[in-house]
């Protein structure tokens, strides 16, 4: 059972950061520890513990245990028997306190961070006497520090130490577990993951990717050091404003646009609803919507058409197993009254890549939207609109706000500060040669989906929807299928019982595609969808095939 302090005792930026750290699969436990003495403030999950009173882990005891049981230290939570502090063996003691596994782990995490901080300080202060005047030994360690003991820093010393301490994120990985630790000024945020959990091959969006370490570090640093309102003249606000502006610059650069041509917001759904409300429509305007769309790309236009009496034309597909957005079908729908065409670049069910260049030749000019969490970033979305149509977009902002940029017109408030300023870290991931990086990503993902598709295509009970080829020019690694004679969700649950793989079933917000084109009777049960990304391995895919083969044979 988790022990949690009153919510008022834990700052919002700390809980927000912990939420980011637990966004990936396989989380077993979380801890919030005191930066001062390592005491457990909050714990959840398998190793959750309720500290007795205001007890703090005895770090010196834990260190003694570390020396005696070094292997146990490297594999926390692997042994069902919690390690016993060395003091528990003292003969004269009538009673001894035996810490829980969570408490022992917390003590070692605190010692781990303390050692890392000392290492960081020794690197930043190479002289024999540091800024506080403390003497150092021949190894560069301060007297009384470096052994994991707790510190009772004064305010002045703590403030200076925070400036010098460069430790932003620590990661310890063993065969069975991974511990991620993010130090804050007053807290240590710790997340214990199951290292055996397949990371990312089971993501449940198209394709909700895992967040880059550098993005997590950037968000951590922002929330810790520069979480203030934008636009003021004092130093911290200037830093925050510059970071926000850099985020917009990077986001625009990512799609070869200018900052004034994009808008960032909480989701693609929200941005498209904002756009549909702000666009200046005329009576008789026609909207062409693809039935291959995620509903985010249809709902806003259906709503505004109902409100304003516009005509919606549905762009369908004739092949239920491999539906496509055929440009020739579009030509039959488009007319002089067509105001907008909404279609996907890649279907979140089929994985099939749509020929948007050919469609653009027919449509000429169009806004585009995508979500950064599909490309290793935070949960934030981006909308682009050519400046040629900005005069056709009304502003949703307050009357005294400017209208010079798309963002000023469409954003009802500023986009999430910490998310925006982290976007440059995503762009950096693909640099310096962006084209070469994308080619490597696509090549790896082609190899991965080839393994899955070879198995599925060879099973006569399985129907694969979308391109049956793994060709990177035809599809992205999102594979959807059904198995004759069984429900999709039952297959998912059977795989989960036998392995750590996790994926999902359903319509994934492409309800019209599943119902009207693919034609499944049970739309809610829908298809089985497996997603993977370049950080997955061929071994993981081979293991998944083995599990799928066993499960399908039993259903």
* Tens-place pLDDT, residues 302-327: 999 999 999 999 999 999 999 999 99
Residues 75-96 as b or e (16 or more Cβ within 10 Å = b): ebbeeeebbbbbeeeeeeeeee
Q: Please, how many CA atoms are within 13 Å of residue 160, restricted to the half-sphere of its CB? A: 11
Structure tokens at 123: 């690197």
pLDDT score recorded for residue 197: 52
In a domain, 26, yes or no: yes
Pair 274, 317 in one domain:
yes
How many whole angstroms separate alpha carbon 552 and alpha carbon 431? 42
**3 state SS for 353-377:** ECCHHHHHHHHCCCCEEEEHHHHCC
pLDDT, greater one: 462 or 197 = 462
Query: What's the pLDDT band for 114 if we cut at 50, 70, 90?
Result: confident
Last residue of a domain, one of 430, 453, 479: 430
pTM over 0.85: no
Q: Looking at the structure, do residues 424 and 379 belong to the same domain, yes or no?
A: yes
Identify the CATH number of the domain in which residue 318 sits: 3.40.640.10
Higher pLDDT residue, 301 or 7? Answer: 301
Predicted local distance difference test score (pLDDT) of residue 435: 92
Number of domains the chain contains = 3
| CATH at 25 | 3.30.450.30
Domain containing residue 328: 215-430
Structure tokens given for 428: 């950096």
The confidence band for 144, taking pLDDT boundaries of 50, 70 and 90, is very low
Average pLDDT over residues 173-182: 83
pLDDT band at 137 (very low <50, low <70, confident <90, very high): very low
pLDDT at 196 (0 to 100): 59
CA dihedral sign of residues 42, 180, 217, 406: negative
Q: Are residues 508 and 424 in the same domain?
A: no
* Bridge partners, 479 (sequence order): 530
Residue 481 and residue 340 in one domain: no
Q: Is the pLDDT of residue 44 over 50?
A: yes
> Cα–Cα distances in Å, from 405 out to 252, 387, 408, 409, 423?
12, 9, 5, 7, 19
Which of 388, 404, 430 is the C-terminal boundary of a domain?
Answer: 430
DSSP state letters, 71-104: HHHHSTT-SSSPPPPGGGG-TT-S------HHHH
- Dihedral of CA 385/390/393/399: which sign? positive
- Overall size of the chain counted in residues: 555
Among 67-76, 157-166, 226-235, 481-490, the range of highest mean pLDDT: 481-490
Q: SS3 for 337?
A: coil
CATH number at 546 reads 3.90.1150.10
Mean pLDDT of 157-162: 42
469 pLDDT higher than 70: yes
**Residues 422 and 489 reside in one and the same domain:** no
Same domain, 397 and 501: no
Note whether 212 and 199 are within 8 A (CB): no
Tell which of 387, 407, 430 closes a domain: 430
166: closest CA among 228, 243, 221? 221
The pLDDT score that the predictor gives to residue 519 is: 97
Nearest partner of 118 among 102, 134, 140, judged by Cα: 140
Q: Which of 11-15, 112-116, 335-339 has the lowest mean pLDDT?
A: 11-15
């Amino acid at each position: 059972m988790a022990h949690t302090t009153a919510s008022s005792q834990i700052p919002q930026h700390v809980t927000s950061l912990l939420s980011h750290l637990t966004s990936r699969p396989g989380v077993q436990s979380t801890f919030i520890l005191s930066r001062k003495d390592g005491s457990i403030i909050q714990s959840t999950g398998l190793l959750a513990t309720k500290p007795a009173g205001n007890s703090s882990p005895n770090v010196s005891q834990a260190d003694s245990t570390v020396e005696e049981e070094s292997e146990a230290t490297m594999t926390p939570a692997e042994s069902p028997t919690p390690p016993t502090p060395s003091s528990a063996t003292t003969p004269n003691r009538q009673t001894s306190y035996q810490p829980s596994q969570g408490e022992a782990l917390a003590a070692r995490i605190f010692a781990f961070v303390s050692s890392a901080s000392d290492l960081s300080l020794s690197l930043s202060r190479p002289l024999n006497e540091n800024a506080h005047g403390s003497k150092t030994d021949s190894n560069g360690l301060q007297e009384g520090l470096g052994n994991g003991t707790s510190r009772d820093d004064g305010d002045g010393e703590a403030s200076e130490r925070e400036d010098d301490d460069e430790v932003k994120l620590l990661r310890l990985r063993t065969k069975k577990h991974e511990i991620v630790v993010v130090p804050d000024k007053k807290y240590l945020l710790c997340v214990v993951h199951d290292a055996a959990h397949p990371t990312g091959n089971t993501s449940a969006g198209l394709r909700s990717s895992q967040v880059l370490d550098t993005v997590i570090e950037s968000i951590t640093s922002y929330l810790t050091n520069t979480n203030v309102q934008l636009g003021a003249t004092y130093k911290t606000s200037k830093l925050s404003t510059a970071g926000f502006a850099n985020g917009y610059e990077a986001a625009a650069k990512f799609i070869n646009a200018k900052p004034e041509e994009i808008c960032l917001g909480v989701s693609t759904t929200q941005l498209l609803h904002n756009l549909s409300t702000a666009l200046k429509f005329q009576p008789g305007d026609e909207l062409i919507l693809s039935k291959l769309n995620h509903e985010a790309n249809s709902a806003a236009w259906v709503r505004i058409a109902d409100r304003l009496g516009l005509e919606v034309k549905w762009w369908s597909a004739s092949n239920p197993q491999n539906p496509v957005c055929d440009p020739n079908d579009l030509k039959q729908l488009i007319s002089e009254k067509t105001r907008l065409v909404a279609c996907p670049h890649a279907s979140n069910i089929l994985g099939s890549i749509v020929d948007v260049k050919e469609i653009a030749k027919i449509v000429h000019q169009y806004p585009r939207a995508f979500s950064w969490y599909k490309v290793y970033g935070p949960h934030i979305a981006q909308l682009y609109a050519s400046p040629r149509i900005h005069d056709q977009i009304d502003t949703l902002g307050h009357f005294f706000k400017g209208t010079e940029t798309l963002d000023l017109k469409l954003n009802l408030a500023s986009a999430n500060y910490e998310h925006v300023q982290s976007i440059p870290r995503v762009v950096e991931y693909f640099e310096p040669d962006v084209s070469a990086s994308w080619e490597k990503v696509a090549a790896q993902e082609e190899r991965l989906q080839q393994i899955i598709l070879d198995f599925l295509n060879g099973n006569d009970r399985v129907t694969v929807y979308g391109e049956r080829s793994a060709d990177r020019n035809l599809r992205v690694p999102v594979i959807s299928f059904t198995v004759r004679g069984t429900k999709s969700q039952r297959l998912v649950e059977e795989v989960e019982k036998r392995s750590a793989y996790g994926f999902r079933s359903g319509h994934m917000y492409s309800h019209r595609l599943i119902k009207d084109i693919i034609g499944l009777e049970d739309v809610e049960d829908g298809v089985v969808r497996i997603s993977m990304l370049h950080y997955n391995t061929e071994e993981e895919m081979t293991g998944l095939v083995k599990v799928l083969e066993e499960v399908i044979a039993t259903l």
